[in-house]
Structure formats: structure tokens, C-alpha cells
Amino acid sequence: MGSPSARAQATPNYRRDLNIVVVAPDGTFAAHAGIWYLPGLRVVHVEPVATDPGHRRRGLGTVAVIEGLRRVREDGATMAWVGSDQLIYMSMGFRVTAAPTLWWRELGKAT
């Protein structure tokens, strides 16, 4: 079945040029943004975004996302979405348009 990374890279909408990695001056990983473009819909899904704890609060995750969005905008993308309510996305111009619904059920009770 392969690693999660190999499976992701085998999907139809994976583009290596949209797998944005920020490298620290010492050559180590600093931040990453995965950008998934659906050209038929001209929509972008931003996920995952991660920053190494030693490099947080320097804007590197933001730089990775903004660079990915710049690239897909050049390819015709008109809308981007992210499934997170973290405030960092608001600072990049995203705005909340929907909230998730959580359904739960107590187990052990008859229905």
C-alpha cells in the first residue's frame, strides 16, 4: 500500500510544485504547505500546513501557504479553502464561512 506520502503523491490532483517546503539556513525542515488544486473547479484546498516547533512564530508557514496560492492563481484558481479555524488563516485573508457539526451518541443506551 505504501507510505502515506507515496499514496498522496499517487492521487490525480497531486502536483510536486505545489508541495511547498521552507528550508532553514542550516538545511533543516522549517515549514510546509500542501496545496491541492482542482483545476476543473478552479478551487484550492490548503492542507496540511506545518511548522517545526523551533521555527514557529516567524511567518514561515504563512510564506509557504502564500507562495502556493500565488502559484495556483497563475494557473487560474479563483478560490481557496482550508478546514481549520486557527487565526493564522484569518491573517492570510481567509474568512470563516461554515462551522463543523459534531454528532455524538452515548454508547450502551438502547435506541
DSSP output for 17-76: GGEEEEE-TTSSEEEEEEEEEETTTTEEEEEEEEE-GGGTTSSHHHHHHHHHHHHHHHTT
Other beta carbons less than 10 A from residue 106's beta carbon: 5
109 within some domain: no
What is d(CA 44, CA 39) in angstroms, rounded to the nearest whole number?
8
Question: Rounded mean pLDDT of the chain?
Answer: 90
Confidence of residue 9 (pLDDT cuts 50, 70, 90): confident
Joined together, the cell numbers standing for residue 10 give: 499517487
The per-residue pLDDT for 46 is 96
Does the pLDDT at position 96 exceed 60?
yes
Provide CB contacts within 8 A for 19, sequence distance 6+: 32, 34, 35
Q: Is residue 14 part of a domain?
A: yes
Print the domain residue range for 42. Answer: 4-91
* pLDDT at residue 1 is higher than 70: no
Asked whether residue 105 is assigned to any structural domain, the reply reads no
pTM: 0.82
Residue 107 lies in a domain: no
Radius of gyration of the chain (CA): 17
Residue 111 pLDDT > 70, yes or no? no
Q: Which residue has the cell 510564506?
A: 63
Question: Which domain CATH number covers 49?
Answer: 3.40.630.30
pLDDT in tens, 12-54: 878 999 999 999 999 999 999 999 999 999 999 999 999 999 9
Mean pLDDT of 83-110: 85
pLDDT of 102 reads 79
Q: Is residue 103 part of a domain?
A: no
The answer to the question of residue 106 being in a domain is no
98 occurs within a structural domain = no
Q: What percent of the chain lies above the pLDDT cut of 70? A: 95
Give a yes or no: residue 28 inside a domain. yes
Number of domains in the chain: 1
